[in-house]
Structure 1
Amino acid sequence: MKPSLQMRQSQHLALTPQLQQSIRLLQLSTLELNREIEQILAQNPLLERDDDPHGAVVRLHNDGSLQPATGDEGFAGGLNGTSPGDDSGGPVGDPFAADPGGTPGAEAQAAGVDGAEAMDGSGLELAHAWSLEGGGRGSGDDPDDDRGKEHAATTGTSLREHLMQQLAGARCTARDRALVELLVDELEEDGYLRTDLAEVAAALPAELEVDPDELRTALRLLHSLDPAGVGARSVPECLLLQLPQAGQRLGASPRTVETARRIVEQHLDLLAARDFGKLLKLLRCDEQALRDARQLIQSLDPKPGNRFAQHSPFFVVPDVVVRRTREGWRAFLNPEVIPRLRVNDLYARILKNQRAPAAPRVAADAAATDNRTASTNSLSSQLQEARWLVKNVQQRFETILRVSQEIVDRQNAFFSHGAVAMRPLVLREIAEAVGLHESTISRVTTQKYMLTPYGTLELKYFFGSHVATESGGAASSTAIRALIKQLIDEEDSTQPLSDSRIAEVLGEQGIVVARRTVAKYREALKLPPVSQRKAL
């Protein structure tokens, strides 16, 4: 065959750099988006933030007085001369109060204001409400959650530091103190000593002549330290170490403490299985005594070291907030997650002036001219990238808002009545409504969160499969799970509902589901089976 040249025409889809960046930004979470923007800001001098990342921080004047945060100053005088709560008639800080003024920002968009500025303005009042309410949910205000308070009180001090502080004041020999420190170093994060004492002794140098009896003495000294139960080698031992102090703290009778001790030592598996009938026979006690002993055991902490574990809390900031207005439930972007970006005007003007035709130069200046041309081309490329990023970020939030509003319109009953009113919804329905592809809707709803009257939920939560009903309709799997949880929450603890009985109750309401389907939904809700829900 002879080499030859051929020309063929074909069509193929090519993704431009701008489109690739738009797709990548759309699938990023809020945290990942901020990281991406910070990285681009460090690389592109023509891009800058138009907002102050530290605007919500209280500043200190030169004279020592406090300067209020930027957000507080903006809302101190109210919005347009009125207080933030005047136009709603509801309490300040309620993001779900009715808004008789309609949709905020609609006038700005109708007047032709830029989309990003209109979105920023639509959430000003909501930003005040979010700043007041955002930290209140799930902050551990339950007065019964004593363990959470203990954890909060000890945050910043590790378990080892806490034990070393007590050991420094203990009356013991230097050798015993060194052995206790050795055992403390062997403790795991939950406070258990899972290394055998013989292994610890074998790992020590032979010239120290440490025998297991000395280690057992050091272990008893470790058991006397706070928190009670630290250094235990098993769950029963941990609970037994805490029983005396717990009995005194709760004012339990010696009989109750002794019954609890017998349960922990011999029948802890029966208590976990809630086999109360067998426990009553083995312990030879009445139901009240067993109930008191069980309550005493439940007050113990099976992992005493966890309260000292320093885990960074994970906070979810919603991208969209849903509020009730005169027109119904409406979705608004959370202004706190919208980065305000702009192109540096000074650099843009310089580049514009350098593009103007210049006078002819001599040959000696040719090299300098070439260098300036290369610099200008580089900056022009960065200018184009900055404009792309500003446009793509704006388009990202506009798409999120469109999809969120469509979800709110289709799941309107959920926001008024809860999860039991959730209807079946698939990605294809939203894609057809907003004119986007299903893959785009999948990117929008992944790791994007919505603040609702029932908590902060991922947009994926509103999508679910359907289950046929006797009337020929369909019920959402999310609504069925909510019904199962409601039935279990309202059941008689002495006679809990089995999975078969729950399936029968749902069938009476027209929802036909099998027993195994109920079991699958119950396990997804992390609810125990009927045998573990039974109480005395």
Structure 2
Amino acid sequence: MGSMQLTTTTRQVQTLSPRLQRAVQLLQMSSLDFAQMVREKIDENPFLEEEEDSDTAPPAAAETASDTESYPEGEAGDDRDIWLSERGPGKQQSDDEHASAIDLAASRTTLAMHLHGQLNLMALGERDLCLARAIIESLDDDGYLRIALDEVIDRRQLSPAPQPAELMIALRLVQSLEPAGIAARSVGECLALQCPRIADSGTRALALRIVEDHLEALAARDVAGLAKALRQPAARVQEAIAAVRRLNPRPGWSVGNARIDYIVPDVTVRRVRGRWCAQLNPAVVPRVRLNRVYAELFQRHRRSGHEPLVDHLQEARWTVRNIEQRFATILDVAQAIIRKQELFLEYGAMAMKPLVLREIADEIGVHESTVSRVTNNKYMATPLGVFELKHFFSRPMISASGKACSATAIRELIGDIIAGESPAQPLSDGDITRQLAAQGLLVARRTVTKYRQLLRIEPVARRRRCA
């Protein structure tokens, strides 16, 4: 018969406090997301303020004040002096005076707005206008109609329900709008809608046949196959293909382009007195400080029932410290990367050394996971371009001589080999593998294929050009 007993064991378990977990999350954020988070903190926390563009920032006196410190009531008369000492001549400007260039910029015209504006100039009945507008609202960013035509509009919205012929008329109406090729249901239809723009009638007719019946051969650039199928000279087919390639397969991009997110580097690298040095980009470092006035007034008049303000004050102090710690860690990681990859800065990607996260973690004295978070969505501006910090890490690949070579360098070498190939006789992935082996680099063919795809280089059949 089994017996029941109580035992006591002791063990150590590593756990993260909620505040430390939050700090880890903030470290992983991109600078854009982090700046937005800081802006939200400033808006909701009365003890945080954005620093003015001044050479001398007032000290955060409340940082050293005790949360339980009290003052005699006679000192309350100093509150006015404290308040006025922080008010400069330009502190009460109107909102208009603080408007930024972004606030004053014109709003972006979307593709739907552009098309609706053209419909407004047409004499259409209410039913036709409703169908055309429904089709416009169903287009994607590329300008395509990706859903079935009979699913564009809820049949309950119109009485009687729209017939297929009515929907087709509405579709042709939208397709007649600018830009040409809009509201197509396939790439072939999009290009066919733009073929009337080709000036030469013979080239126009041949291009239309190609996009309607031989789109796969066009994508493969099979000039010989197209010439045989169309029974046309190769020169004529080449002219038609060139005309088709001048068309726009994504007409929606020409109007109301999606907002372009420019990369703002977190760190900039430049040579100073013969050495490569990293420095933080001031544009991504939030200029935030503890509001000394509010903090000191709160300390003077703190009473029971002010727990929410106590939490705000503690949160404000933690936010300021976290900003300093975040960017100090980013700078430490960036400087360690530079020390490891000086040859890359000197000679380019071919000189990239193998590098793993643990090497940087050991050098700056942090955990490997911290380096992983720091390198996520952080960018470094170098004389060779702007790179994500993760770009400088690549696993080692052993050459025939036993020396380690970085995967980044091999990928760059593959790009150089393809760039020097003959257009009439491009190299297959197997050919590239053999060339690498001849240079002492033992790389599998599937690895060459993967690196070629990462370089966005087409396979050999699509790179072949006729002489």
Name the TM-score class by shorter chain.
Answer: 0.7 to 0.9
Q: Is the CA contact 1:470–1:510 (under 8 Å) kept in the aligned structure 2?
A: yes
Structure 2: unaligned runs, 5 residues or longer = 55-89, 101-105
3-state SS of paired residue (2:303): helix
3-state SS of paired residue (1:332): strand
Of residues 511, 514, 519 in structure 1, which corresponds to 2:441?
A: 511
Of residues 227, 249, 257 in structure 2, which corresponds to 1:302?
A: 249
Paired letter, 1:394: E
Q: Is the CA contact 2:269–2:278 (under 8 Å) kept in the aligned structure 1?
A: yes
Q: Does 1:275 align with 2:275?
A: no
Distance 1:442 1:382 in 2: 31
Distance 2:460 2:5 in 1: 79
Paired letter, 2:242: Q
* Structure 1 residues 242-292: Cα deviation after superposition (integer angstroms, max 9, x where no partner): 1121x12xxxx3332222122122211111122222222222333321211
Distance 1:49 1:509 in 2: 57
Matched with 2:358 is 428
Distance 1:211 1:19 in 2: 62
3-state SS of paired residue (1:331): strand
* Structure 1 residues 409-454: Cα deviation after superposition (integer angstroms, max 9, x where no partner): 1111111222221110001111121122212211221222111223
Paired letter, 2:365: G
* Structure 1 residues 135-161: Cα deviation after superposition (integer angstroms, max 9, x where no partner): xxxxxxxxxxxxxxxxxxx98333343
Q: Does 1:372 align with 2:303?
A: yes
Report the CA distance between 1:211 and its aligned residue. 5.5
3-state SS of paired residue (1:282): helix
Distance 1:458 1:331 in 2: 14
Q: Is the CA contact 1:48–1:344 (under 8 Å) kept in the aligned structure 2?
A: yes
Decide whether aligned partners of structure 1 residues 168 and 505 sit closer, same or farther in structure 2, where only a CA change above 3 A counts. Answer: same
Q: Does 1:233 align with 2:164?
A: no
Report the CA distance between 1:45 and its aligned residue. 3.0
Q: Is the CA contact 1:155–1:310 (under 8 Å) kept in the aligned structure 2?
A: no
3-state SS of paired residue (2:209): helix
Decide whether aligned partners of structure 1 residues 398 and 301 sit closer, same or farther in structure 2, where only a CA change above 3 A counts. Answer: same
Distance 1:444 1:528 in 2: 34
Report the CA distance between 1:297 and its aligned residue. 0.6
Matched with 1:413 is 343
Distance 2:352 2:274 in 1: 20
Decide whether aligned partners of structure 1 residues 466 and 345 sit closer, same or farther in structure 2, where only a CA change above 3 A counts. Answer: same
Distance 1:378 1:197 in 2: 56
Paired letter, 1:450: M
Q: Does 1:166 align with 2:118?
A: yes
Distance 2:411 2:265 in 1: 24
Distance 2:174 2:17 in 1: 66
Report the CA distance between 1:380 and its aligned residue. 5.7
Q: How many residues align?
A: 421
Of residues 456, 460, 464 in structure 2, which corresponds to 1:530?
A: 460
Report the CA distance between 1:463 and its aligned residue. 0.6
Paired letter, 2:231: R
Report the CA distance between 1:316 and its aligned residue. 2.5
Matched with 1:33 is 34
Decide whether aligned partners of structure 1 residues 204 and 489 sit closer, same or farther in structure 2, where only a CA change above 3 A counts. Answer: farther
How does the TM-score come out when normalised to structure 2? 0.77
Distance 2:15 2:262 in 1: 39
Matched with 1:49 is 50
Q: Output the aligned Cα RMSD.
A: 3.9
Q: Is the CA contact 1:223–1:231 (under 8 Å) kept in the aligned structure 2?
A: yes
Distance 1:168 1:230 in 2: 17
Q: Is the CA contact 2:155–2:162 (under 8 Å) kept in the aligned structure 1?
A: no
Report the CA distance between 1:523 and its aligned residue. 1.9
Structure 1: unaligned runs, 5 residues or longer = 54-58, 70-153, 355-370
Distance 1:209 1:435 in 2: 70
3-state SS of paired residue (2:293): helix
Matched with 1:84 is none
User: Identity over the aligned pairs, expressed in percent?
Assistant: 44
Q: Does 1:480 align with 2:410?
A: yes
Of residues 282, 285, 290 in structure 2, which corresponds to 1:338?
A: 285
Report the CA distance between 1:513 and its aligned residue. 0.5
Greater displacement, 430-439 / 311-320: 311-320
Distance 1:384 1:201 in 2: 54
Q: How does 1:15-26 map to 2 (within 5 A)?
A: 19-20=20-21, 22-26=23-27
